């Protein structure tokens, strides 16, 4: 998928000096907002990728209203007093995706009508926040390159890597960006530019493990992906621990996010829908595999591990016989057959390894699979283990029980 995204990006020229379009990026284009707006479009369009839609169509959809309101603590989308806020929340990601060439936009009268140009990439963005972040990083790097600005961002990075980055370097980069935008777009004041700049610098900083910007100043710490989110968690203040790793910060962010039942329910249902399309056959080839694989089984039970319920790495496709006689002994869905749980984990290990080899991290991440194992089994497996080593560790663990 990364190659496919790059192929699309490399086929286009995003030079703002030519387009004079300031909406190649905007304030609301955070990874989590971009992800859910892409998901709303995918849900609205269904299989008809040629269908046109407007901001109003998304706003009027029950799917948008049910999920955005609860996840982002917004007022009811059907409340007309919320129009200006929702216009930006929906329109800005759509305009950015249009500039990128993922959507096509045409103005008819006073309305913008959108349609999908790259359905595979849009679906990729809609799957999870991390995918949206990966897309934004690739896209913004291409924009900065086409605009002739990438050299200044690379100079900023180089100074940090040799230990010489200071406030003056940060303000120099910021001033260059301000002059570029005011000189090449209809924006005529620094205030609006200063809303866009952090969204670009912090994506670049997170990917390159650099300080970025917080409240208009050079940040005192490296930017993590969790710092990019609209629903960000200020974990540094919350924990008083400035030395959390990126992985620990992501786990803390997700735990905080999933404490909201509406968020958890949304993610679980979203992943269940995706998984039904992704996996059609049983993932376990045993004597109970005959018949259609209609069952989605949580390897680590949803009631015991709600934080794992939405992970594709914790879901496995089974036949009814496998599900109700093997995974859950004697059709007791409140119980787990530990022997078959090992079989499920080993099979899932194969599924994930093959998927990563074919699609990259489009659907699965090895780190997420190990997180599920460590959480479900109270283990501490290293994320650098090979899949063969993960299988050995699993087999040793279950044989010792």
Q: Which pLDDT tens digit goes with each residue over 28-79? A: 999 999 999 999 999 998 878 788 999 989 988 888 888 887 777 666 656 6
| Residues 6 or more apart in contact with residue 52 via CB below 8 angstroms | 113, 114, 115
Task: Report the distance separating Cα 42 and Cα 159, nearest Å.
Answer: 42
pLDDT confidence of residue 152: 97
* Residue that is written with structure tokens 């005011």 in the block: 182
Check pLDDT > 80 for residue 389.
Answer: yes
Question: Which is more confident, 252 or 61?
Answer: 61
Domain limits, the chain:
2-127, 149-255, 260-399
Whether the full predicted model's pTM is greater than 0.85, yes or no, is: no
What's the mean pLDDT when you consider all of the chain?
Answer: 88
Cα dist from 293 to 117, 276, 290, 329, 368, whole Å: 33, 10, 8, 18, 24
Task: Report the distance separating Cα 268 and Cα 155, nearest Å.
Answer: 42
Classified as helix, coil or strand, 164 is: coil
DSSP designation for 53? B
Task: Report the distance separating Cα 175 and Cα 104, nearest Å.
Answer: 32
How is residue 186 written in tokens?
A: 């209809």
Q: CA angle at residue 24 from 20 to 29, to 5 degrees?
A: 150
Write 202-210 long-range contacts (CB < 8 A, 24+).
202/227, 202/228, 203/133, 203/136, 203/137, 203/140, 203/228, 204/137, 204/140, 204/141, 204/144, 204/153, 204/157, 206/133, 206/137, 207/137, 208/157, 210/156, 210/157, 210/160, 210/165
pLDDT confidence of residue 251: 66
Quick: pLDDT tens for 81-137.
666 667 888 999 999 999 999 999 998 888 899 999 999 999 999 988 889 999 999
Task: Report the distance separating Cα 2 and Cα 134, nearest Å.
Answer: 9
Classified as helix, coil or strand, 356 is: helix
Check pLDDT > 70 for residue 237.
Answer: no
Confidence of residue 178 (pLDDT cuts 50, 70, 90): very high
Check pLDDT > 80 for residue 27.
Answer: yes
Task: Report the distance separating Cα 140 and Cα 204, nearest Å.
Answer: 8
**Phi-psi sector, 229: left (phi>0), alpha (psi -120 to 50), beta:** beta
Classified as helix, coil or strand, 138 is: helix
CATH number for domain 2-127, candidates 1.20.1070, 1.10.3470, 3.30.450, 1.10.10: 1.10.10
Check pLDDT > 80 for residue 249.
Answer: no
Cβ–Cβ under 8 Å, residues 352 and 366: yes
How is residue 209 written in tokens?
A: 């493990």
Length of the chain: 401
Check pLDDT > 80 for residue 248.
Answer: no
What stretches of 283-337 show up as alpha helix (H) in DSSP? 320-321
How is residue 252 written in tokens?
A: 């803390």
- N- to C-terminal Cα separation, the chain: 40
Tell which residue, 237, 322, 335, 332, has the closest CA to residue 288. Answer: 322
Tell which residue, 85, 365, 391, 329, has the closest CA to residue 250. Answer: 365
């Amino acid at each position: 998928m990364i190659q496919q995204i790059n192929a699309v990006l490399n086929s286009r020229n995003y030079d703002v000096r030519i387009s004079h379009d300031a909406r190649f990026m905007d304030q609301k284009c955070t990874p989590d907002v971009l992800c859910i707006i892409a998901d709303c479009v995918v849900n609205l369009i269904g299989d008809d990728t040629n269908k046109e839609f407007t901001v109003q169509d998304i706003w009027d959809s029950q799917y948008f209203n049910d999920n955005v309101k609860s996840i982002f603590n917004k007022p009811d989308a059907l409340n007309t007093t919320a129009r200006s806020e929702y216009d930006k929340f929906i329109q800005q990601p759509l305009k950015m995706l249009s500039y990128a060439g993922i959507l096509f936009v045409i103005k008819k009268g006073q309305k913008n009508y959108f349609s999908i140009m790259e359905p595979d990439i849009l679906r990729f963005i809609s799957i999870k926040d991390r995918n949206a972040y990966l897309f934004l990083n690739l896209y913004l790097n291409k924009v900065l390159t086409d605009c002739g600005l990438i050299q200044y961002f690379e100079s900023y990075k180089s100074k940090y890597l040799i230990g010489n980055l200071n406030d003056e370097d940060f303000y120099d980069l910021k001033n260059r960006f301000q002059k570029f935008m005011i000189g090449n777009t209809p924006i005529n004041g620094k205030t609006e530019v200063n809303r866009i700049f952090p969204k670009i610098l912090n994506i670049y900083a997170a990917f390159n493990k650099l300080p970025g910007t917080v409240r208009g100043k050079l940040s005192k710490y490296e930017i993590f992906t969790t710092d990019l989110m609209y629903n960000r968690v200020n974990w540094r203040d919350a924990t008083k621990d400035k030395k959390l790793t990126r992985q620990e910060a992501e786990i803390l962010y997700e735990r905080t996010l999933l404490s909201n039942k509406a968020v958890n329910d949304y993610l679980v249902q979203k992943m269940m829908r995706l998984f039904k399309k992704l996996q059609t056959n049983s993932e376990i080839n045993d004597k109970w595999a005959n018949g259609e694989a209609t069952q989605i089984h949580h390897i680590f039970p949803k009631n015991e591990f709600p934080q794992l319920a939405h992970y594709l790495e914790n879901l496995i496709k089974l036949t009814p016989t496998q599900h109700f006689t093997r995974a859950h002994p004697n059709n007791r869905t409140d119980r787990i057959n530990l022997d078959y749980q090992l079989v499920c984990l080993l099979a899932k290990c194969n599924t994930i390894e093959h998927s990563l080899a074919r699609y990259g991290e489009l659907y699965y991440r090895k780190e997420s699979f190990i997180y599920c194992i460590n959480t479900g089994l109270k283990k501490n497996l290293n994320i650098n283990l090979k899949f063969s080593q993960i299988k050995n560790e699993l087999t040793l663990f279950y044989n010792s029980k």
